[in-house]
Amino acid sequence: MAHSEDTTNIVYGAPLERSIDVSLGELMLPLLKAHDEQVVQVDGETNEPLTAVKLMKRAIKLAKWYEKQGLRIGDSVSINSENRLEFCTVPIAAFFRGITFAPLNPDYTPRELNHVLNLSKPKVIFCSAKTVDKMISILPEHPHVNILVLFGKETRNHPKVIMFDHLMGDVDSEEVDEEFEATPLDIVNTVATILCSSGTTGMPKGVMCTHDNMAAFIDIGQIQFKEIVQSEDPDDALMGLVPFFHSFGFMLMFLNILRGKMMVVLGKFKPKVFLESIVKYKISRLIVPPPVLLFLLKHPMAKQYDLSCIKEMRSGAAPLGAELEKELKAKFNVEHVSQGYGMTETTLAVLATPHGKAKSGSCGVVVPGMMAKVIDDDGKALGKYQEGELCFKGPLIMKGYVGDPESTRNTIDADGWLHTGDVAYYDSDGYFFIVDRIKELIKYKAFQVAPAELEALLLTHNSIEDAAVIGLPDEMAGELPLAFVVKKPGAKLTEREVEKFIEDNVSPQKRLRGGVVFINEIPKNPTGKILRRVLREKAKNMKSKL
């Protein structure tokens, strides 16, 4: 007999009326037809445009090619490439036929690639010149991969490599196939994407999101991000800088095609190209990870450009400090600076800030149709202003981790709640504040010290460009807070000055008793999450040399 769940202290998002009951392919096809000659993407470096009708023709041709290769519902295809105009054709063609899209991080090592390919088992992998040789080298270990499709002009003489341009032929000048129809699917159970979780705490896991998960987010977006989705401004362009293999970048790219507006696609972060694109395409809203906003705020190059077109800054994928928010608002005179909260496992944002109603340091409120709670160590839901583990339930929660039922059970409990591993609390208005990762908390004696708090404080120092804090193992205290600090160019700053700055601003247990280390750059993953394991390794090596 199913037990009834206690609903005390559960925070509900606004009611959600579901309107999409078709597959992503069935949804996409008529929209691409309607957008027609509207430019949906433009290459930030070459200025090459991609119109909706061109994208539709290419995706239809590719979907037919998938069929010829024997790909069926439940099979998967991958991309191992930096952001580029060809990228979006691959998943849209897959959605037309119920094939799962499982992108890869182009920076994965062969070891990581072997791990994730064994999870998603793609039959076709699309590559760029940067990644193709790495993929060729591991092909013998993956007999399920039939073909590598290579983007661009560089060729490779290998029996399994074919060229994307050759595959497309003269499709751009051909007529649209009006007879083509997207395959109807069981949207609740058919997996649309297998995106890799960050893997900052170990090997990446393959997160299965269904067509229904993504359709739910589209329905939510109509309410939560109404001013973006329903914008009447034909020039309302977005920046496609976040990697498309990442859930944040992928969903942003996909949702932008649905709304039929332009996205400026950047293969990697080149400061000059990024700044020039903002000015050239009059980017009014930036939806980017915190390091990009930090760059705009602190880098001397940013001062050389008139960025007054920016009216809104939204952040995700990593924490944005309250001080940073205030500085951005003051410097750029923007109407709206906010951050959202989501995981690969929750399709996209499950906490978001209503437009014009940001609270400093908060990730916002629960999005429509979702539920949240904050629990203690015994699993009891806590009231407002009490810190505990953040959990979510509702239509955005993933189907599970591919090939890993144990991890799925450890993440989603018997009542369907996804346990995030993040410490948070909510206030009397239902706004949530992330305190830190449970796994990242520094245990100093009986105290728990949140690295994010110390990092946000360090970033307020005039001579500090960037910072990261980890726990240095210590026999007596358990762990000691240790700061890695990047100085601003030309800044004169000593370790003792940094320690003193923290001492003057925090309670005793939060002092940098592990010391301060100056480095050139804080290691981060492509979306701006600090790679703490890299820093822990660095600290361990330093300690062993003492």
Within-domain flag for 500? yes
Bridge partners, 314 (sequence order): 287, 338
Q: What pLDDT was estimated at residue 533?
A: 84
Q: What pLDDT was estimated at residue 450?
A: 81
Residues 313, 197, single domain; the answer is no
Residues 471/514, Cβ–Cβ less than 8 Å: yes
The residue among 395, 410, 435 that closes a domain is: 435
Within-domain flag for 453? yes
pLDDT < 70: residue spans in the chain:
1-5, 198-203, 439, 446-448, 544-546
Q: What pLDDT was estimated at residue 225?
A: 84
Within-domain flag for 337? yes
Q: What pLDDT was estimated at residue 202?
A: 52
Sign of the dihedral defined by the CA atoms of residues 17, 99, 237, 297, in that order: positive
Residues 277/283, Cβ–Cβ less than 8 Å: yes
Residues 49, 178, single domain; the answer is yes
Residues 96, 189, single domain; the answer is yes
The length of the chain is 546
Report how far residue 33's alpha carbon sits from residue 52's, in angstroms, rounded to the nearest whole number. 7
223: tokens are 């309410």
H-helix segments, 98-171: 110-120, 132-138, 164-168
The residue among 176, 192, 214 that closes a domain is: 214
Residues 455, 383, single domain; the answer is no
Residues 51, 182, single domain; the answer is yes
Question: What is the tally of structural domains in the chain?
Answer: 3
CATH number of the domain enclosing 523: 3.30.300.30
SS (H, E, C) 455-523: HHHHCCCCCEEEEEEEEEEECCCEEEEEEEEEECCCCCCCHHHHHHHHHCCCCHHHCCCCEEEECCCCC
Please name the residues in contact with 239: beta carbons below 8 A apart, sequence gap of 6 or more. Answer: 263, 264, 266, 274, 277, 278, 283, 286, 287, 288
Residues 464, 409, single domain; the answer is no
Report how far residue 442's alpha carbon sits from residue 217's, in angstroms, rounded to the nearest whole number. 35
Please name the residues in contact with 30: beta carbons below 8 A apart, sequence gap of 6 or more. Answer: none
Bridge partners, 238 (sequence order): 263
The residue among 168, 183, 214 that closes a domain is: 214
Residues 389, 454, single domain; the answer is no
Within-domain flag for 260? no
Within-domain flag for 154? yes
111 burial via Cβ count (<10 Å: 0-12, 13-18, 19+): exposed
Report how far residue 181's alpha carbon sits from residue 175's, in angstroms, rounded to the nearest whole number. 15
Residues 392, 489, single domain; the answer is no
Residues 466, 490, single domain; the answer is yes
Within-domain flag for 271? no
CATH number of the domain enclosing 74: 3.40.50.12780
3-class secondary structure, 312: strand
Q: What pLDDT was estimated at residue 1?
A: 38
Task: Give exposure, 310-326, as e/b (b: 16+ Cβ within 10 Å).
Answer: bebbbbbbbbbbbebbe
Within-domain flag for 98? yes
CATH number of the domain enclosing 322: 2.30.38.10
Residues 413, 429, single domain; the answer is yes
Residues 67, 97, single domain; the answer is yes
Within-domain flag for 415? yes
Report how far residue 474's alpha carbon sits from residue 490's, in angstroms, rounded to the nearest whole number. 34
Residues 145, 94, single domain; the answer is yes
- Residues of the domain holding 431: 288-299+309-435
Rounded to two decimals, what is the model's pTM? 0.84
